[in-house]
Each structure stands twice: as C-alpha cells, then as structure tokens.
Amino acid sequence: MSLGGAAQPFDLFVKDINKSFDGQFAVRGVSFGVRAGQLLALLGPSGCGKTTVLRIIAGLLSPDEGDVRFKDRSVLGTPVHKRGVGILFQNYALFPHYSVAQNVAFGLRMRRMSGTETASRVREALALVRLEGLEERMPHQLSGGQQQRVALARALAIKPLILLLDEPFAALDRKLREAMQIELRALQVSLQLTTVLVTHDQDEALTLADEVAVMRDGWIEQIGSPSDIYARPTSRFVADFVGISNFFMGRLMSGVSGEAVVDAGALQLKPAKVPAEFQAGSNVTVALRPERLQLKIVEPASSGPNQVRARLERVVYRGALSFCHLRLEDGRPLIASLAAGVDSTWISELQPGQIFNVSWDRAANLIIRDESASGVELD
C-alpha cells in the first residue's frame, strides 16, 4: 500500500466480484480500491480476466456477485451510459464514420452539452494529446499512435469520474509506446484522474502504476506498489511473471543459532526474514532475483550459506544487462544478471565453462507461496 494515500478516499472500489461465463469462472473474488487521482494497473497473462473486470467496472457486464462502488456509492443499478466513465479499448474503437473532432465530441453530445462548450472541450482535449490540426481527419487516415491519442482525447473530453484503459499501448512500437506511456502518466497525474489500466506488460505496469494488482486465473494474486511487487513477491507466480526469478525448493530449518535456514540440497539459503505463514520443518520455495547474485572467480571454492559453485554455460547479451546462464554442480540452472556499466570489465572476460562462486546477501532470499511445490518430497 502506498504511504500517505490513506487520507484519500477510494474513488473506485471493487468488492468481491465473481463472474462466470457458461459455468466457467472468469473472475472470482476480485477486490481492490483505487484512491482519487491514483492509477492502478491490472497485470496478468492473457485470459486471466482483466478485460472482464474492466467491463464490469464500466457496466458493460454485470457481476454475478459482488459490488462496484464509485465514491462509495454502488453503481450496479446504474446503466452503462449513465456511469460517467471514460474508456480506451484495446483496439481504440474509434467511430469510423466520424471525424477526429466528432469522435472526441461524442461523449459531450450524448451529454447534450452546448455547441460552443463542446467545441472548446474538444479543442482542449486534442491539445492535451497534442493532436491539434487533425480535427477534420477521418480515423482511417490516422496512424496507430494518432488513433490511440484520439481515443484518449475522447475519454478525457468528458472529464470522466474513472478512466479505464484496456491495453492502450499494445498496438504501438516500442519507442512510441514508451513515449506514450510517459505522456499518459504525466496527463493522468496532472489531471488527477482515477485510473485503472489493464496490461499484460510488466514494464508498463511498473512504470505507470501507483499500485499493481497481479491477476491470475480470474483472481488477484498480489496487490501492492510496483516496488512491493517486484522486490517482495509473495508467490511463485508473481515472482515468475514480474521480472525473472531463480527458484529453489528446500526444507525450512532452525539453524544452530536459532536462525532460519533453507536446506536445498547442495546449497543453504539463509533468509533475512521468514513470513509467519511458513513453519520450521515445512517445504518452502525461495526466489532469487538474477541481479542480486554476484559472480566471483574463487580458487579454491569457499562454502557456506548463500553461496554456491556454478559453471557458466552461456551469456545472453541484452544491452544494459547481460544474463549469465549458469548450472550448479547438481544440474540445477541459475540465472544471474550483470549491469553493463557496473560490471563491464567482467562481461568482456566471461567464458563459457568457467566456474564461479555465486553469492548473494540474505535479503535476496524471498520465501514465497508455491502451489507447484506442495506435495513434492525432497530428499
């Protein structure tokens, strides 16, 4: 939860919603709140129910159970066209028979706003997305990025109570996408728009959001600030979906000095802290982020907790980062990343086949929930 936000009321609150199609759950027990002026990202793989949640908020679908509240008033009884939300669909859904200006004016016309006020609002909205001068173009005469901005202007023009964005940047090239993301965030912050953004792109979620809700199979797996989600994933799914993680399964033990240690075969992991839900003696999974690992050529190999010997198999160069694919002596894979600026001397000297001593600090060990591990017996 973001600090200091507690004073702000929830503009949007989604409470325990369930929705099934033909007996198949698409959304189950989803709850979250978005405070005034904040942006919440719904992040998850394809088919996990993100769009369904968005359509329920907009009123295009009604939930089987649960409640949707705008400013603490239930809107379940309010039909779609009276909810006052602005939406940007994944495919933009511009009205093909209307010009840019007419598209942007649509919501205002439906609100029976006067001609002069509509015109000034349209001008204002097009200026916000920097599309002045294209008023008379038809949608098919615009580039993808321009269409996307028209769709955004259309949503902004009505000064929506809630702004809903369904994968707004999915169709754009990377450069344009990043530029639009920064623009959108700046707009959203300056206009104080309460926003829900749907995306399957973790970078987008982490870049844009005040809060990220990671969805999986129709439920919310974890909700928190971007740094929470990245640095403190609570489940294997989140650790795997957001960023890259190494996973080690082992038995949680109480060490000699009373400190917890995870015994994972050839290696010992000593975590900084153990969440209360995990008991000593149980099998747990530990996630390790690649950038927390340090490589050293050590002769002879040292031993101890939070370090292990591994052989370098290959290096994948990714510009700012290089990923070292390593293999432990017992065959388990391990990925470590090196930053170009910091570790540059290293990267040029790396040779497949080299043996490294890989080490990490205690805080890097994240004990997480892991359904795939339950029932697995370790020797």
Ligand X SMILES: Nc1ncnc2c1ncn2[C@@H]1O[C@H](COP(=O)(O)OP(=O)(O)OP(=O)(O)O)[C@@H](O)[C@H]1O
Residues from 130 through 159 that contact another protein (CB under 8 A): 138-140, 154, 158
Which among 241, 274, 242, 237 is positioned nearest to 255, based on CA atoms? 274
Pick what 87 binds: Mg ion, ligand X, another protein, none; C-beta below 5 to 8 Å, kind-dependent. another protein
Burial of 37 from C-beta contacts in 10 A (0-12 / 13-18 / 19+): middle
Contact residue for ligand X among 9, 16, 21, 120 (CB under 6 A):
21
CA distance 22 to 289: 40
Piece of 18-26, 186-194, 313-321, 332-340 that binds ligand X (CB under 6 A): 18-26
Cα 252 to Cα 238, 272, 274, 355, distances in angstroms: 21, 13, 9, 28
In which order are the strands placed within the sheet that holds 85-88?
85-88, 162-166, 195-199, 39-43, 211-216, 219-224
Closest approach, Cβ 208 to ligand X, in A, equals: 16
97 makes contact with another protein (CB under 8 A): yes
Which among 197, 194, 263 is positioned nearest to 38, based on CA atoms? 194
163 makes contact with ligand X (CB under 6 A): no
> Across 255-354, where does the E strand assignment appear?
260-264, 267-269, 283-288, 294-296, 307-318, 321-328, 333-339
Whether omega for the bond prior to residue 300 falls within 30 degrees of 0, making it cis, is yes
Pick what 48 binds: another protein, ligand X, Mg ion, none; C-beta below 5 to 8 Å, kind-dependent. ligand X
47 makes contact with ligand X (CB under 6 A): yes
Question: In this structure, what token pair is assigned to residue 289?
Answer: 């982020």
Which among 252, 240, 319 is positioned nearest to 282, based on CA atoms? 252
107 makes contact with another protein (CB under 8 A): yes
Q: By rule CB under 5 A, what string of x and - marks binding of each residue 42-71 to Mg ion?
A: ---------x--------------------
86 makes contact with another protein (CB under 8 A): yes
Helices 115-128, 100-110: inter-axial angle, 10-degree rounding:
130
Pick what 376 binds: Mg ion, ligand X, another protein, none; C-beta below 5 to 8 Å, kind-dependent. none
81 makes contact with another protein (CB under 8 A): yes
Q: How many residues bind ligand X (CB under 6 A)?
A: 12
Residues from 16 through 55 that contact another protein (CB under 8 A): 55
Q: DSSP secondary-structure letter at 279?
A: P
- The site for ligand X (CB under 6 A) is made up of 21-22, 26, 44, 46-52, 200
Residues at the contact surface with Mg ion, assessed by CB under 5 A: 51
State the residues that interact with another protein by CB under 8 A.
Answer: 55, 58-60, 79-87, 89-91, 93-97, 99, 106-107, 110-111, 138-140, 154, 158
